[in-house]
Amino acid sequence: MPAPAALESHPPRCAPIWGMGFLLVLLSLIGLILYANPHGMFPWKFAKISPTISTFVPTAARTDKIALYNNLDFSPEVLILGSSRALTIPSARILENTGYRTFNMSVNGGGPLDFLTFGRFTLSKDEPPTVLIVELVYPSLKVPENPMPVSMLPYLETDKGLETADKIFHDVVSLQSISDTVYQFTYGLLSKRPPNMTYIADGTGIRVELTEKQYRSELERITKNVNQASKCAALDALAMGQLESLIELAAQKQVAVLFYRSPLNADYLDMAESDHPDFIRCEALFNTYMSDLLASHPNVFFRDLTYYETVGALRWDGYYDVHHLKPLAAQLVVDALTPDIQKAMEWAIDGNR
């Protein structure tokens, strides 16, 4: 009796089908993330981002400011670089006081890396700014670095460029980006809240007014962070290097750099740990550093408005919280800086003090 024929074996077909399905889903999600661009890593805006979200996303805020700068119909003589404390500094007030066209390029969480990167970007233009106004947020100089948008890669050092490229890769394939994409599309439909901050064409930020209860809450919340950031045993070496690179680049272009510290709210100073030894040490280190910069770089100017009572005494009338300025206070800061802006411009034009 003949032996039964052996049954032919067939490899399971579910594995390649499952793999193709997974790849299709993954590519679709990556495509959606690239289209939505939820964190503003890329210069395009195919999808409408709620402005309420955009102003809170560090990279998106930087992308917005770069786009505004590229769309200017004039070449600013003065450029403002700073953190959220400088967002409301009115470019129009500088124009009114000095006649110099100004753009406010301050961003949330702005620090030395932003100043150097935006400085390289703007000073590479055919008609670069003549004066850079740079707001220094903490005496320690240390500010957490936020991811830069892909358009700024040419202006970053190699190591920072690689860090940014790595963040871009992880941003595109991360579950967080998928979640934020869904949130972005639904938030505008579900929430009727106005944006916390909007920017006008000259870069000036317009912020929503807070109630006095919200003001007190923000005052208490931010006081802890400012107290901590105002204490140090040494200034941040990386930040110092970035500031000095900006100064040297500006000097090569005959550009003046005016550093300033923004006034602190008297309500905060009532609660500040200004008698703490680390606080006192940090202030002394900062003041020595700024004195050294002034002595060694003729294109550097500095105005310390930290304890400027004309603004600080406004309290609720001048501040949203510890150090974020309402329009009246921001105008007074410009008025206080106007003589320094004039001196810096004279140096840049004449080549000496």
How far apart are the two ends of the chain, measured CA to CA in Å? 113
- Sorted by where each starts, the structural domains of the chain and their CATH numbers stand as 80-159+199-350 (3.40.50.1110)
How far, in Å, CA of 295 to CA of 300, rounded?
9
Residue 28 has, within 13 A of its CA and on its CB side, a CA count of 6
- Name the phi and psi angles at 258, rounded to 5: -105, 105
Q: Strand 102-104 to strand 197-199: parallel, antiparallel, or no bridges (unpaired)?
A: unpaired
Q: Which neighbouring-strand residues pair with 198?
A: 206
Q: How many CB atoms lie within 10 A of CB 126?
A: 5
- In angstroms, what is the C-alpha Rg of the chain? 25
How far, in Å, CA of 141 to CA of 277, rounded?
18
Which residue is associated with the tokens 């299709």? Answer: 24
Global pTM exceeds 0.85: no
Q: Supply the pLDDT for residue 107.
A: 93
Question: Can you list the residues of the chain whose pLDDT is less than 70?
Answer: 1-15, 18-58, 161-162, 164-195, 351-353
Q: 132: which 2 tokens?
A: 């850079």
DSSP notation for 133-201? EEE---TT---PPPPPPGGGGGGS-HHHHHHHHHHHHHHHH-HHHHHHHHHHHHHHHH--PPPSEEE-T
How far is residue 210 CA from its own chain's centroid? 22
Which residues fall within 8 angstroms of residue 34, CB to CB, at 6 or more apart? 42, 172
How far, in Å, CA of 202 to CA of 280, rounded?
37
Tell the burial category of 253 from Cβ atoms under 10 Å away from its Cβ (0-12, 13-18, 19+): middle
Torsion of CA 108, 111, 117, 119, to 10 degrees: 100
